[in-house]
């Protein structure tokens, strides 16, 4: 939820399905977000995803977060460190190994990381530490980008 005084959220409906805290050497929070019925037939979806990332970052009051956007909750459950064991128990190893990679190609839309050195995974304030990976398990494209956050009141 955005802080008071922030402009109203205008992006697509989304759900934060899992939050993993203190991830990696940078100690960032990772938000696993699902957007159902995301139309990816044109590049307009990228603006929608950026709206979601900006909203999550505003709620965190920091651009130094990880926001992973998927269209299928199973991807988040299979990849999140806090839920993968429960996922394996429910669906089995074979499903994790064989079905999830196929889902990821079409359903892992983007991964934003902010405040994270892309080479060493340690904290950074450098501009290259803020980026979105579009289709990380498909036709990967990297975009340098940092959400604008509302000024604190």
DSSP character string of 64-102? --EEEEES-HHHHHHH-TTTHHHHHHHH-HHIIIIIHHH
Does residue 18 carry a pLDDT above 60? yes
pLDDT category of residue 153 using cuts at 50, 70 and 90:
very low
User: Residue 5 has what pLDDT?
Assistant: 61
Residue 29 CB-density burial (10 A; 0-12 exposed, 13-18 middle, 19+ buried): middle
Does residue 63 carry a pLDDT above 80? yes
User: Residue 1 has what pLDDT?
Assistant: 52
Does residue 94 carry a pLDDT above 50? yes
CB 117 within 8 A of CB 129: yes
pLDDT category of residue 6 using cuts at 50, 70 and 90:
low
Average pLDDT over residues 65-74: 96
pTM for the model stands at 0.91
User: Residue 4 has what pLDDT?
Assistant: 60
């Amino acid at each position: 939820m955005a802080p008071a005084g922030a402009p109203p959220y205008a992006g697509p409906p989304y759900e934060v399905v899992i939050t993993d805290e203190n991830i990696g050497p940078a100690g960032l929070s990772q938000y696993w977000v699902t957007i159902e019925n995301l139309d990816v037939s044109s590049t307009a979806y990228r603006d929608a995803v950026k709206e979601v990332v900006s909203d999550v970052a505003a709620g965190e009051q920091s651009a130094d977060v990880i926001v992973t956007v998927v269209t299928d909750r199973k991807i988040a459950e299979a990849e999140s460190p806090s839920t993968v064991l429960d996922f394996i128990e429910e669906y089995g190893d074979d499903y994790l190994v064989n079905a999830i990679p196929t889902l990821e190609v079409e359903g892992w839309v983007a991964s934003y990381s902010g405040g994270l050195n892309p080479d060493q995974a340690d904290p950074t304030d450098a501009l290259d530490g803020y980026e979105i990976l579009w289709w990380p398990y498909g036709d990967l494209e990297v975009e340098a980008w940092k959400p604008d956050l509302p000024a604190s009141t």
